[in-house]
Amino acid sequence: MVVGVMGAMPEEIGPILSRLKNVQKHEVADNIYYTALYGSLDLVVAYSKIGKVFSALTAATMIEKFGVRRMLFSGVAGAISAELHIGDLIAATKLCQHDLDITAFGHPYGYVPEGKVFVEADPHLLELAAKVAYDRGVKLKRGVIATGDQFVADEARKKWIGKTFGADALEMEGAAVAVVCDALKVPFFILRAISDAADMDAGFDFDAFLQSSSQKSADFLFAMLDALDQAQ
């Protein structure tokens, strides 16, 4: 099975690439895609660059050009829920775009005609993640992730996103990957480790914890790859 492993930034994908052998590089559409065999899995790994447009392009390229049939995303997020702390893992049950706004035409936030506010992650991959977490004694929370083309470092904006979408965490790519995978019928799983609380300290915390939280997310993602390999 061809499995896509995405992140947004080099720091998110580095810990995954460093564990693969005989990695091949491919340049497509202004980005680099790394392919490698991992057990029975054909992996395609890439960081997209930050934001919804770049991540949608990378997800679509992985699916259409590389034949990806399962998509896994690993990276960091800002916490909205007070129950999420730096380093905690959250798997998205569903994702939305918090910055999508045509409310002027009477639509709800996050909605455009023929779209939907929430895109749901694959229940089988979520179940597999729960089993991996249980087997390894790792705490994995589930929740709603809100995506937007904004680094949120503002208590009021964060609260608004939490209240409007019932979101537990926020980041800048997940919902874009979700929309692409949903449209192209590829089951997906979005995993994030908390790097900051999307508050006025967020910029500082993000820099301080990007590496360690990326590593935590990547470690869990690798365990998911082992489980997927064994399930083959």
Residues marked as catalytic = 12, 196
Question: With respect to ligand ADE, which residue has the nearer C-beta, 86 or 183?
Answer: 86
Query: How does DSSP assign 24-69, residue by residue?
Result: EEEEETTEEEEEEEETTEEEEEEE--SSHHHHHHHHHHHHHHH---
Least distance (Å) from ligand ADE to the CB of residue 26? 27
Question: With respect to ligand ADE, which residue has the nearer C-beta, 155 or 226?
Answer: 155
Are the C-beta atoms of residues 190 and 95 closer than 8 Å to each other? yes
What's the one-letter identity of residue 177? Answer: V
Q: What sign results for the dihedral spanned by CA atoms 17, 188, 47, 83? A: negative
Least distance (Å) from ligand ADE to the CB of residue 64? 27
Q: Cβ–Cβ contacts within 10 Å for residue 99, how many?
A: 17
Least distance (Å) from ligand ADE to the CB of residue 53? 15
Cα–Cα distance between 111 and 53 in angstroms, integer? 17
Cα–Cα distance between 219 and 221 in angstroms, integer? 5
Question: With respect to ligand ADE, which residue has the nearer C-beta, 56 or 153?
Answer: 153
Q: State the residue number with the nearest CB to ligand ADE.
A: 78
Residue 62 token pair: 């992985």
Question: With respect to ligand ADE, which residue has the nearer C-beta, 41 or 202?
Answer: 202
Q: What sign results for the dihedral spanned by CA atoms 127, 131, 134, 137? A: negative
Are the C-beta atoms of residues 206 and 76 closer than 8 Å to each other? yes
DSSP tag of 120: E
Least distance (Å) from ligand ADE to the CB of residue 216? 13
Question: With respect to ligand ADE, which residue has the nearer C-beta, 43 or 95?
Answer: 95
Least distance (Å) from ligand ADE to the CB of residue 109? 17
What's the one-letter identity of residue 163? Answer: K
- The contact set with ligand ADE (CB under 6 A) reads 76-78, 151-153, 170-172, 195-196, 198, 202, 206
